[in-house]
């Protein structure tokens, strides 16, 4: 075999390797999910969804867990959405090139890299203890809001940047003030993109476990929460609790819980992707 042939062979081998690598992760994930479905599907029932947790695996359900997840999701949205979008607007539209804004940006990129369990320690120290919120939904939601803030800020800025500067110019030239331009032109034009980013960030919050365990999302909560100051647990924490029990029946419960959690995560991501595509096709200038 001469050199050229050898090189061509290498090329072909790598191509095969590339295809394998690309689909390896996806295939493994598919196998995992298949396994989960196989194990947990039998447990999925109306009763499972509507039952309180119990010492007995067969009577145990995820009612308090998903109620807690919904509460946390709503509170986290209410806190992180305005904060994150506001900060994104500030940095993208008002920020000038000076040391303060450079510092803000470096800080945000740093926060994005802080492990989520550290946010849990922050929430434990500040919200649970210092502000005396206890192991409440509010404390958990505030913690998660800070955790996803960098993600929302970054995606908001990207969406704002995608609005052509010609639109801003046209508005400003009409005598619109800065905020009028942002409110009437830039935000409507970038809203799809912003919403996509926020939903993706929230779907991450829904799956977060470690920071909520640290702020004390109790593993056993006998009642569904009725106010933001109530104690709570969430789906991922409930799953963690079940996984760590030795009995096989609880493992099946965990698998069933995972099916529900994955369902929520995938639906949220699906909505985000749908919105992004719709927004991109509508907003091509």
Partner 1 sequence: MESDSQSSNPKTTQVETKPKLNSKHQSYKLQAQNVDVFYEDFQAINNISLGIVENSITAFIGPSGCGKSTFLRLFNRMNDYIDGFSMNGNILMDGKDIYDESVNVEELRKIVGMVFQKPNPFPKSIYENVAYGLRIQGIKDEEYIENRVIESLKQSTLYSEVEDNLDKMALSLSGGQQQRLCIARALAVKPTVLLMDEPTSALDPISSGKIEDLIHELKEDYTIVIVTHNMQQAGRVSDNTAFLYMGNLVEYGDTQKIFTNPEKDRTQNYITGRFG
Partner 2 sequence: MSRKLKEQIIEKVLAFCALVTILTTIGIVLILLVEAVGFFQEVSIVDFLTGTEWTPLFADKSYGILPLISGTLLTTFIAIAVALPIGLTIAVYLNEYAPRKLQKVVKPLLEVLAVVPTVVYGFFALMIVTPFLKIFIPDLSGFNALSPGIVMGIMIIPFVSSLSEDALDAVPDSLRQASYGMGSTKFQTAFRVLVPAASSGIVVSVILAISRAIGETMIVAIAAGQNPQFTFDPTVPIETITAYIVQVSSGDVPQGTIAYKTIFAAGITLFVLTFILNNISYWIKSRYQEKYE
Interface contacts to partner 1, rule CB under 8 A: 96-97, 164, 166-167, 169-177, 180, 184-185, 188-189, 282-283, 285
Cβ closest to partner 2, residue 116 vs residue 190: 116
Return the number of the residue (129 or 184) whose C-beta is nearest partner 2: 129
Smallest gap from residue 26 Cβ to partner 2 (A): 5
Q: Which is nearer to partner 2, 146 or 275 (CB)?
A: 146
Task: State the binding partner of 14 from partner 1, partner 2, none, CB within 5 to 8 A by kind.
Answer: partner 2
What's the closest the beta carbon of residue 101 comes to partner 1, in angstroms? Answer: 12
- From CA 238, how far away is CA 235, in angstroms rounded? 5
The answer for residues whose C-beta is within 8 angstroms of residue 107's C-beta and 6 or more apart is none
Which of the listed partners (partner 1, partner 2, none) does 261 bind, with a CB threshold of 5 to 8 Å by partner kind?
A: partner 2
Distance of CA 275 to the CA centre of its chain: 16
Q: How many CB atoms are closer than 10 A to CB 266?
A: 12
Residue burial 120-136, b: 16+ Cβ < 10 Å; e: rest:
bebbbebbbeeeebebb
Question: Judged by CB, which is closer to partner 1: 158, or 249?
Answer: 158
Measured from the CB atom, the residue of 53 and 120 that comes closer to partner 2 is 120
Supply the minimum distance, in Å, between the C-beta of residue 274 and partner 1: 20
- CA torsion, points 44, 49, 52, 56, in degrees to nearest 10? 0
HSE at residue 117, side-chain half, CA atoms within 13 A, is 1
Considering the complex, state which of residue 176 and residue 262 has its C-beta at the smaller distance from partner 1. Answer: 176
User: Contact at 8 Å (CB) between 126 and 95?
Assistant: no
**Least distance to partner 1, CB of residue 285, Å:** 7
Q: Any residues with CB less than 8 A from the CB of 278 and at least 6 apart, and which?
A: 192
Which C-beta is closer to partner 1: that of 130 or that of 173?
Answer: 173
Burial class of 26 by CB neighbour count within 10 A (0 to 12, 13 to 18, 19+): exposed
* CA-derived radius of gyration, the chain: 23
Please, what is the minimum distance in Å from the beta carbon of residue 281 to partner 2? 14
* Residue 54 binding result from partner 1, partner 2, none, given CB thresholds of 5 to 8 Å by partner type: none
What does 229 interact with, of partner 2, partner 1, none (CB < 5 to 8 A by kind)? Answer: none
**In the complex, what is the shortest distance from the CB of residue 285 to partner 2, in angstroms, rounded to a whole number?**
21
Pick what 166 binds: partner 2, partner 1, none; C-beta below 5 to 8 Å, kind-dependent.
partner 1
Task: State the nearest-atom distance from the C-beta of 164 to partner 2, in Å.
Answer: 21
Please tell me the distance from the alpha carbon of residue 144 to that of residue 10, in angstroms, as a whole number: 48
Neighbours of 269 (CB within 10 A): 15
The helix (H) or strand (E) run that includes residue 116 is helix 116-123
According to DSSP, residue 215 is labeled T
Supply 151's token pair: 């993600």
């Amino acid at each position: 075999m001469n050199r050229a042939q050898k090189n061509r062979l290498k090329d072909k081998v790598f191509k095969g390797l590339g295809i394998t690598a690309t689909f390896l992760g996806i295939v493994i994930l598919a196998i995992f999910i298949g396994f989960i479905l196989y194990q947990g599907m039998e447990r999925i029932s109306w009763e499972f969804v509507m039952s309180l947790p119990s010492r007995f695996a067969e009577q145990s359900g995820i009612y308090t867990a998903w109620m807690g997840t919904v509460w946390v999701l709503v509170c986290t949205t209410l806190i992180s959405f305005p904060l994150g979008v506001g900060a994104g607007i500030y940095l993208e539209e008002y920020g000038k090139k000076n040391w303060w804004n450079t510092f803000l940006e470096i800080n945000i990129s740093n926060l994005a890299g802080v492990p989520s369990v550290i946010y849990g320690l922050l929430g434990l120290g500040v919200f649970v203890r210092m502000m005396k919120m206890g192991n409440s939904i509010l404390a958990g939601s505030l913690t998660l809001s800070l955790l996803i803030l960098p993600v929302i800020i970054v995606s908001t800025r990207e969406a704002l940047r995608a609005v052509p500067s010609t639109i801003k110019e046209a508005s400003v030239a009409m005598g619109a003030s800065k905020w009028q331009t942002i409110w009437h032109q830039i935000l409507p034009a970038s809203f799809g993109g912003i919403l996509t980013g926020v939903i993706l960030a929230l779907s991450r919050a829904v799956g977060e476990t470690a920071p909520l365990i640290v702020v004390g999302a109790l593993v056993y909560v006998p009642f569904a929460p009725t106010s933001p100051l109530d104690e709570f647990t969430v789906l991922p924490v409930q799953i963690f609790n079940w996984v760590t029990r030795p009995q096989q029946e609880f493992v099946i419960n965990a698998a069933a819980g995972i099916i529900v959690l994955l369902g929520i995560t995938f639906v949220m991501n699906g909505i985000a992707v749908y919105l992004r595509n719709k927004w991109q096709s509508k907003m091509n200038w």
